[in-house]
């Protein structure tokens, strides 16, 4: 899941809306919109699933809020997260992107975007592969606090092994855990969060 900074309250509450959110969600409006409308919502859109896989890779070593703030700049720099376009990138493209101060400039992550695009396109059914680790349906958890969720559960371990076997990089178990939570394979909004009731169906 996104960053778990210690907070005194059991969940974050927006003064403007009085909505109780997962404790990791700060008062940042961008973070709140992501939490309320995207995180944990089941997605089977291949374009969205690929984008989130790339973004989770870019998060490694950084905060998720940093990634969210640079998401649109990354979208522009990474060719709209189009796997067909990214699959054709080369080292010259990587070097060019390294000059773009608006994005997360990391040579290994930029190379991984191209490599993972090629691996994604080589899969006969990438959506089916991702969802296979949860049996095709979201796993609904009822955690009271974010720290109750494992850093990397068995589903993430399985997905990490599968993706690595198919040539993906930046897909370790911790990254895969965050990925599965983000795309709704694992519904990990805490029980006091207003989104838990909406998604735990």
Residues serving a catalytic function are: 34, 56, 64
How far is 59 from 62, CA to CA, in rounded Å? 5
Distances 120 to 12, 47, 49, 115, 177 between C-alpha atoms, Å: 36, 11, 10, 9, 18
Distances 188 to 45, 138, 157, 191, 196 between C-alpha atoms, Å: 20, 10, 17, 9, 8
Strands (E) across the chain are located at: 12-13, 20-21, 139-140, 186-187
Phi/psi at 41 (5° precision): -85, 125
């Amino acid at each position: 899941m996104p960053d778990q900074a210690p907070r005194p309250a059991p969940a974050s509450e927006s003064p403007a809306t009085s909505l109780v959110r997962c404790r990791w969600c700060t008062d940042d409006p961008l973070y709140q919109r992501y939490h309320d409308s995207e995180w944990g919502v089941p997605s089977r859109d291949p374009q969205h699933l690929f984008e989130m896989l790339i973004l989770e890779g870019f998060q490694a070593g950084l905060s998720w809020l940093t990634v969210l703030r640079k998401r649109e700049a990354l979208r522009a720099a990474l060719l709209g997260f189009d796997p067909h376009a990214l699959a054709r990138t080369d080292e010259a493209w990587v070097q060019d992107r390294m000059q773009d101060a608006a994005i997360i400039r990391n040579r290994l992550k930029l190379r991984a975007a191209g490599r993972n695009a090629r691996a994604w396109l080589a899969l006969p059914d990438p959506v089916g592969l991702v969802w296979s680790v949860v049996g095709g349906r979201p796993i609904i958890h009822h955690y009271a606090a974010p720290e109750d969720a494992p850093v990397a559960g068995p589903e993430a371990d399985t997905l990490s092994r599968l993706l690595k076997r198919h040539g993906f990089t930046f897909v370790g178990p911790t990254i895969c855990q965050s990925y599965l939570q983000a795309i709704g394979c694992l519904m990990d909004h805490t029980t006091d969060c207003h989104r838990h009731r909406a998604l735990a169906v």
